[in-house]
Amino acid sequence: MSAEATNPEARPEARPELRRRGRTRIDLRRLGRAALLGPAPRDRLPDAIGHVAEAHRAHHPDADLSVLHRAYLLAESSHRGQMRKSGEPYITHPLAVTLILAELGAETTTLTASLLHDTVEDTEVTLDQVRAEFGEEVGFIVDGVTKVEKIDYGAAAEPETFRKMLVATGNDVRVMSIKLADRLHNMRTLGVMRPEKQARIAKVTRDVLIPLAERLGVQALKTELEDLVFAILHPEEYERTRALIAAQAGSDPLPGIADSVRSVLRDAGIAAEVQVRPRHFVSVHRVSLKRGELRGSDFGRILVLVGENADCYAVLGELHTCFTPVVSEFKDFIAAPKFNLYQSLHTAVATPDGYVAEVIVRTRQMHRVAEAGVIALGNPYATGDHADGDEERADPTRPGWLARLLDWQRSAPDPDTFWSGLRAELAQDREITVFRADGGTLGLPAGATCIDAAYAQYGEAAHGCIGARVNGRLTSLGSRLSDGDTVQLLLSHDSSSGPGADWLDHARTTAARIAITGWLRQHPDGATPTTTPARAPLSVVGARGGGGNAVADLPDATVRLAGCCTPVPPDAVAGFVVRGGAVTVHRVGCEAVARMRALGRTTVAVHWRATADCRVTLVAESFGRPHLLADLTEAIARQGVEVVSATVEPPVEQRVRHTYTLLLPDAAGLPALMRAMRNVPGVYDVGRA
């Protein structure tokens, strides 16, 4: 583990072993071989690893335990003779770390690497040997953990430390998972260290590892680490909190409330498990700072576990019917998951005797992910192995925030920029996914704009971005993106193009901010006038930009086509009345429809307006170039369409707009006509006027 491994004083008992290099090498080689070939019965794991095997089997009944057996034997024989500061044999440490991970449901590869995580750093075992015996993947993870441990943690909140650590993980969160479990075991056994050293390690844990645990969604590790740090760094508050918890132990109203919830759900015929979850110490402390004097129901929460997603909303319905809900406390993290994959419904209900109890409702699968985060998602390289239905969201080895961070950290000009960027990224608590018009997706923080998407997709080439289409509609670069939007970015090939200073007002991601700031510094005179301002009104109509073709069975209601499923004729559609009286139209198969129906929202019938008119007016938006008009009219003529009139407006910011009124032999030919016009070089948008 880092602190011990890099600091000779940390594990004094272990170091003399390592100093006697010659003898140690021979002994360990011999022991290692003996252990691997030796008489240990193959059909039974040694007792020491029995707990790990049991915990692993509980989550993965079909797991192959023989590889764990081999890893254990190598780790045990190579660490033999080394002691922890506590006086225990060193092997107890990798075993404890592995048990923590096994209990959280980590897969076999992670557990194998975890058993071996200190061998390359602290024993004669080499990385090549690990690779040869356990494969590239285990070798890669062990190498990552070894690199992380070589980084000096001496200077607690140093941005450089954190940067190096993230880079050392090689993008693989399994390395971080092992690092977190390693730190948890070391924090649990920190009592044997001198107080100054305890405080130093606790501070790094607070500044670096707890935020990481939070981001990776490993709630179980995060809460325990928080309490351990709290006890070391704030002993008086810790003691006061402990006393508070002890004092209310006899008069806890939550078990009674849980009973009433149980009977309400039983009467409603909903199969659910209802638990009382005590808050951890830091949580009690935080609540007491927020609410002043604590009441009995503040010391824990009610947790309701169900089988299916839809059951969550059914439970919510019953709770809100049979108790008095505190509406301001309701949060739907199922429909809008947090950045770290966490999903649950949160609410609070008031009981007849005046208590307010917080209630969390989730499925058992959501619970597993809430507790163990990325660790619960299984082997990230095995396709289809992870959480049901989460395929499109979860690449646990490379969560969006980590990928972004690893990308921009290289271009951060100084540690201060890195640190402020990092804090900003960590403060984002939700992530959105937008679709690239050319295929693929971009993960961005909530609130990101087209400018952020441009830099995420094109890097420095985004300096030449002059416009964007969102869901087919031309929009300003400063427009905020929503989850599920499709974004197409329009780049100028004119090398003199560059960002305007106002782009910084719209850039939310650190990557975009660093790139824009760098460009502006190199171009103190600013961009050429053709490329600014980013917020210039760009008004173009697209056939899909609005609800024009859909008619709702509600007189005078404004109709809006939902961005999530972009319905077009002749899709079967359903509408919902949203705030302000407008009707949002979704395809009937859209997830949002199921979700809103589950919430009891009624649908409004919607039909498509018949389009029989053969005379249409189309607007083509293009980059100005010679022969554009000729090429466009030729494309129109080739479709057998007659031009009734044409207007060409003078170019604005390199863009020109042509408006054509056309006579089509058959309205059905319109999509093909528009496609043909869009295919003309330079044309980036064609829409109905």
Q: Which residues contact Mn ion (rule: CB under 5 A)?
A: 1, 118, 182
3 state DSSP class of 359: strand
* Minimum distance, C-beta of residue 96 to Mn ion, in the bound complex (Å): 9
Q: How many C-beta atoms surround the C-beta of residue 349 within 10 A? A: 22
Closer residue to Mn ion (CB): 187 or 376:
187
Alpha-carbon span 482 to 432, nearest angstrom: 7
Closer residue to Mn ion (CB): 1 or 218:
1
Closer residue to Mn ion (CB): 69 or 179:
179
Secondary structure of 622-688 in HEC code, one letter for each residue = EECCCCHHHHHHHHHHHCCCEEEEEEECCCECCEEEEEEEEECCCHHHHHHHHHHHHCCCCEEEEEE
Alpha-carbon span 528 to 653, nearest angstrom: 10
Q: Token match 């079967």: residue?
A: 572
Exposure string over 123-138, b if 16+ CB within 10 A, otherwise e: bbbeeebbbebbeebb
Closer residue to Mn ion (CB): 82 or 488:
82
* Minimum distance, C-beta of residue 90 to Mn ion, in the bound complex (Å): 9
Cis peptide bond prior to 8, omega within 30° of 0: no
* Minimum distance, C-beta of residue 118 to Mn ion, in the bound complex (Å): 5
Q: Which residues pair with 469 in a beta bridge?
A: 474, 488
Q: Is 121 a catalytic residue?
A: yes
Alpha-carbon span 114 to 263, nearest angstrom: 44
Alpha-carbon span 471 to 594, nearest angstrom: 22
Closer residue to Mn ion (CB): 180 or 374:
180
Q: CA nearest 100: which of 148, 52, 49?
A: 52
Q: Token match 């301001």: residue?
A: 328
Which H or E run contains 348?
Answer: strand 345-350
* Minimum distance, C-beta of residue 188 to Mn ion, in the bound complex (Å): 12
* Minimum distance, C-beta of residue 115 to Mn ion, in the bound complex (Å): 11
Q: Is 407 a catalytic residue?
A: no
Closer residue to Mn ion (CB): 1 or 434:
1
Alpha-carbon span 148 to 208, nearest angstrom: 12
* Minimum distance, C-beta of residue 92 to Mn ion, in the bound complex (Å): 11
Distances (CA, A) of 163 to 252, 360, 373, 408: 45, 35, 22, 11
Q: Which of 76, 103, 118, 121 is catalytic?
A: 121
Closer residue to Mn ion (CB): 98 or 479:
98
* Minimum distance, C-beta of residue 182 to Mn ion, in the bound complex (Å): 4
Q: CA nearest 316: which of 62, 34, 598?
A: 598
* Minimum distance, C-beta of residue 351 to Mn ion, in the bound complex (Å): 47
3 state DSSP class of 407: helix
Closer residue to Mn ion (CB): 145 or 474:
145
Q: Which of 76, 107, 122, 318 is catalytic?
A: 122
Question: Which residue is closest to Mn ion by CB?
Answer: 1
Closer residue to Mn ion (CB): 165 or 618:
165
The radius of gyration computed from the CA coordinates of the chain, to the nearest angstrom, equals 30
* Minimum distance, C-beta of residue 85 to Mn ion, in the bound complex (Å): 13
Q: Token match 């002691």: residue?
A: 83
Q: How many C-beta atoms surround the C-beta of residue 528 within 10 A? A: 12
Closer residue to Mn ion (CB): 95 or 465:
95
Contact 476, 535 (CB under 8 A): yes
Exposure string over 541-570, b if 16+ CB within 10 A, otherwise e: bbbbbebebbbbebeebebbbbbbbbbbee
Alpha-carbon span 45 to 440, nearest angstrom: 46
Closer residue to Mn ion (CB): 98 or 379:
98
Q: What are phi and psi of 348, to 5 degrees?
A: -140, 140
Distances (CA, A) of 472 to 475, 546, 687: 9, 10, 9
Q: CA nearest 114: which of 77, 170, 74, 81?
A: 74
Contacts of 1 (CB under 8 A, 6+ apart): 93, 118, 149, 182, 183, 185, 186
Q: Which residues pair with 487 in a beta bridge?
A: 436, 470
* Minimum distance, C-beta of residue 121 to Mn ion, in the bound complex (Å): 8
Closer residue to Mn ion (CB): 143 or 182:
182
Distances (CA, A) of 374 to 106, 144, 145, 212, 649: 9, 17, 17, 11, 54
3 state DSSP class of 321: helix
* Minimum distance, C-beta of residue 7 to Mn ion, in the bound complex (Å): 13
* Minimum distance, C-beta of residue 117 to Mn ion, in the bound complex (Å): 6
Alpha-carbon span 428 to 449, nearest angstrom: 14
Closer residue to Mn ion (CB): 1 or 516:
1
* Minimum distance, C-beta of residue 122 to Mn ion, in the bound complex (Å): 8
Which H or E run contains 559?
Answer: strand 559-561
| The dihedral sign for the CA sequence 74, 76, 78, 84 | positive
Q: What is the dihedral of CA 101, 103, 108, 109, to 10 degrees?
A: -10
Q: Which residues are catalytic?
A: 121-122
